[in-house]
A = this chain, B = another copy of it.
Amino acid sequence: MFEFKQRGEILEKFLNVLKKCPLFAGLSDDEILTSLKCIGAKVRKNAKNQYILQAGDCTDCISLLASGTALVIQEDLWGNRNVMTNLMPGDYFAEPFAAIPDAVLSVSVFATENCEIVEINMNRLITMCSAACSHHNRLIKNLITAFAQKTLLFNEKITHMSKRKTRDKLLSYLSAEAARQGSLSFDIPFDRQQLADFLCVERAAMSVELSKLQKEGLLKTFHSHFELSPNATN
| A107 interface residue (CB < 8 Å to B) | yes
A152 to B97, CA, bound (A): 8
A141 to B140, CA, bound (A): 9
A128 to B135, CA, bound (A): 13
| Binary flags per residue of A82-124, CB closer than 8 Å to B gives 1, else 0 | 1010000000000111011001001100000000000000000
| A231 interface residue (CB < 8 Å to B) | no
Interface-located stretch among A34-42, A153-161, A181-189, A216-224: A153-161
Across-interface contacts of A100 in B (CB, < 8 A): 145, 148-149, 152
Across-interface contacts of A151 in B (CB, < 8 A): 95-96, 147, 150-151, 154
Q: Which residues does A use to contact B, with CB under 8 Å?
A: 74, 80, 82, 84, 95-97, 99-100, 103, 106-107, 126, 128, 137, 140-141, 143-145, 147-152, 154-159, 161-164, 200
Pick the 6 closest A-B CB pairs, nearest first: A99-B148, A147-B147, A96-B148, A82-B162, A96-B151, A154-B154
